[in-house]
Structure 1
Amino acid sequence: MINVFQPSLGEEELDAVREVFATGWVGRGRRVDEFETAFAAHVGVGREHVTSVNSCTEATFIAMSLAGVGPGSEVVVPTVSFVGAANAVAAHGARPVFCDVDPRTLNPTAADVERALTPATRAVLVLHYGGCPGEVAEIARLCAERGVLLIEDAANAVASAVDGRACGVFGDFGVWSFDHGKIAVAVDGGMLYARDPESVSRAARLACLGLAESTGHLRAARSARRWWEIEVSSFSRRSVMNDVLAAIGSVQLRRLPGFLARRAEVVARYDAGLAGVPGVQRPPPLPRGHRTSHYFYWVQLDPRVRDDVAEDLYRAGVYTTFRYPPLHHVPLYGSDAVLPGADRAAARTLNLPLHQSLSDDDVDLVVRELRASLASRAAAVLTR
């Protein structure tokens, strides 16, 4: 089966893990600090602006706490988003207000966001679909004008940028993912950015049971007297990263340029193979100054055959999917929003395999099977 997502892990990552094992310490330590420092440099911010956690979802939950999201407040979320985004809002007692997206880019426009704002809006949380930045600069300006906080879900956008500015640092907070399905993989893990360094210090405490950094075992190296005593500042969970994951993540971050180059080659091969194919819309071109991480490659098909094509490809050994099903249709969130752009996209979009381990032969097989399926389904489109 040709997978939609697949990590590239090898001897270099294994060597890094062996080095951690040899130290006898596998918890949070020097490797985590090194990973955080390297990632801050990667996105062009000072080290004091980032801290790591055990997942991007946890980073989103912490960002909600830092943003003061709670009962009586609303957070605008594009309906085509990861479920963890809406969960983070609702778990804080706030209301997720879903906005529409452009049916071709699957990103919200600034106008989509603006239509969803109300006097109760505390924050806006945007996703960069497939690694494409979208109108993040315009949305950031809108939020600043309205006095609303901006949180960026940059899980798809580890190397995306607009005019040289990294996605994830346009707003007040940004979050990234390093789970098994992402481009740079630490097996699991996440990173949180905050414009205010004091928020990063608060986030680090929230991720470690609310313990002050000067207390407990963290103080052992600085004091020989009652280092076991603790100071608790909040009723928090434990969601820190560890040196094993950080060691893997550091290697992946060093390898990231090569991953991105290969993904761009795969995208170019898809574009060439699918150019002019009847019934296929390829991803729209990026605006000038935008850089994508090439996390998704999506095609849009006639909704009468989209699911049939997915089944044909699966039988041919090609796994596809649709990320992300619109959240305004999830009953638990209690939304009655009417969002035609998102519904149109959800009915037509199919994510094809895209990862740096794909061979040219793999890509050609996907293209060939997609074209064959569409040709066989063409008569069905005419009769429905």
Structure 2
Amino acid sequence: MINLFQPQVGEEELAAVAEIFESRWLGHGPRTKAFEAEFAEHLGVEADRLVFLNSGTAGLFLAMELLNLSEGDEVVLPSTSFLAAANAIVAHGGRPVFCDVAAETLNPSWQDIEAAVTPRTKAVVVLHYGGYPGHIVEIAERCRALGIQLIEDSACSPASRVDGKAVGTFGDLAMWSFDAAKVMITGDGGMLYVRDAEQAARARRLAYHGLMQATGLAYAKVSHRWWELEVPEIGRRVIGNDLTAAIGRVQLRRLGEFIARRREIVDLYNTELADIEGLRLPPELPAGHESSYYFYWVRMSAAIRDQVASDLLAADIYTTFRYAPLHKVPTYGSGAVLPGSDQAAGETLCLPIHPGLSDADVLTVAATLRKAVEAHSKEAVPGGQA
């Protein structure tokens, strides 16, 4: 099977895990702090603004908690997003309000977001689709001017930048995901960025039961009764640990090679698929934009997309569409009419992309896709004439 995603781990990661085993300290500790500091340097932000967590989803939930949402508060987000963001909004008493995206980029413009903003809007969540930064510069400027908090769902975008500035650092809060399908992985894990120093300190407390102070040996060095607790507000335990952080530190060092190989795969797909009639490739990146190349998506007639996906699966090539439009999910109670999101959902197919793919794998995917698109395009035309 040619997989959509596949983690790249090897001897370096194994050695890092062995070192943790030898240390006999697997929990939250010095490697976690080192990973936060190294990722902060990668982003160009202060290390104390980052919190390593057990998942990207935990980062979204913490972000919503920091907003202090109350009944009636609205949070605008693209319908083409992972459901974790919408779940986090609802879980903290807010109402998700879905905005449209462009069918070509699957990213929203400011105009798409503005159409969903009301006096009750407390925050905007933006997903950088497939690692493409999108209109983040304008969106951040407009949100700041209106006093609306901006949360960047940068799960797909650990290496994405605009004019050298890291995606995830334009808004007020951001999160990255390091699950086993992402560009860089820790097995499970995520990173939360909080621009405001006091809110960052609060996020760190909330991530570990709401405790004001460190516990255990570290606190014993500064207090004669280190077992006593100070809990100003209730939190939960969603912190990362040294075992997963050790993997993350190696993956961060390898991130450049991962992105370089992903870019090579994108270039090969672009070359092999360019002349297929009726197939549209991802748009070119604007000047100054750098992508993490998490998705490679193609678009075709909605009349044939599902059949093409089935043909590829029959040939042991796994494809999918990410992400199914959330305004169609009854749980969220949306009645929004979003033509761009609907069009994208009907026409888009995400192809395999990960550094473990060989050129031969990419050529196999391209050839199989070509055959399926051409065959079903003829079937879709009366008389079988393309």
- TM-score under structure 2 normalisation? 0.98
SS at match of 2:115: helix
| Counterpart amino acid of residue 206 in structure 1 | L
Query: Deviation of residue 78 (structure 1)?
Result: 0.3
Query: Deviation of residue 48 (structure 1)?
Result: 1.8
Query: Deviation of residue 378 (structure 1)?
Result: 2.0
Q: State the partner residue of 2:372.
A: 373
Superposed CA RMSD in Å reads 1.1
Structure 1: distance between partners of 2:262 and 2:97: 34
Query: Deviation of residue 214 (structure 1)?
Result: 4.2
Q: State the partner residue of 2:295.
A: 296
Q: State the partner residue of 1:382.
A: 381
Question: Is structure 2 residue 242 aligned with structure 1 residue 243?
Answer: yes
Aligned pairs for 1:93-108 (under 5 A) are 93-108=93-108
Q: State the partner residue of 1:82.
A: 82
Aligned pairs for 1:42-53 (under 5 A) are 42-53=42-53
Structure 1: distance between partners of 2:214 and 2:300: 57
Stretches of structure 2 lacking an aligned partner (at least 5 in a row): none
Question: Is structure 2 residue 31 aligned with structure 1 residue 31?
Answer: yes
Structure 2: distance between partners of 1:251 and 1:221: 31
CA deviation digits over 1:315-354, x for unaligned, max 9?
A: 1110000000000000000000000000000000000000
SS at match of 2:381: helix
| Counterpart amino acid of residue 94 in structure 2 | A
Q: State the partner residue of 1:168.
A: 168
| Counterpart amino acid of residue 90 in structure 1 | V
Structure 2: distance between partners of 1:71 and 1:175: 24
Query: Deviation of residue 217 (structure 1)?
Result: 5.3
Structure 1: distance between partners of 2:264 and 2:222: 51
Q: State the partner residue of 2:279.
A: 280
SS at match of 1:305: helix
Q: State the partner residue of 1:62.
A: 62
Structure 2: distance between partners of 1:273 and 1:297: 13
SS at match of 2:35: helix
Structure 2: distance between partners of 1:81 and 1:70: 23
Aligned pairs for 1:119-134 (under 5 A) are 119-134=119-134
Aligned pairs for 1:356-371 (under 5 A) are 356-371=355-370
Q: State the partner residue of 1:308.
A: 307
| Counterpart amino acid of residue 120 in structure 2 | A
Structure 2: distance between partners of 1:216 and 1:331: 46
CA deviation digits over 1:287-324, x for unaligned, max 9?
A: 11111000000000110010000000001110000000
Query: Deviation of residue 218 (structure 1)?
Result: 4.4
Query: Deviation of residue 206 (structure 1)?
Result: 0.4
- TM-score under structure 1 normalisation? 0.98
Query: Deviation of residue 194 (structure 1)?
Result: 1.1
Question: Is structure 2 residue 336 aligned with structure 1 residue 337?
Answer: yes
Q: How many aligned positions are there?
A: 383
Question: Is structure 2 residue 2 aligned with structure 1 residue 2?
Answer: yes
Q: State the partner residue of 1:328.
A: 327
**Runs of 4+ residues deviating >4 angstroms:** 214-218
Aligned pairs for 1:16-27 (under 5 A) are 16-27=16-27
Q: Which moved more, 1:67-76 or 1:23-32?
A: 67-76
| Counterpart amino acid of residue 253 in structure 1 | L
Q: Which moved more, 1:340-349 or 1:47-56?
A: 47-56
SS at match of 1:141: helix
Query: Deviation of residue 215 (structure 1)?
Result: 4.6
Structure 1: distance between partners of 2:41 and 2:360: 36
Q: Which moved more, 1:206-215 or 1:323-332?
A: 206-215
| Counterpart amino acid of residue 260 in structure 1 | I
Query: Deviation of residue 226 (structure 1)?
Result: 2.3
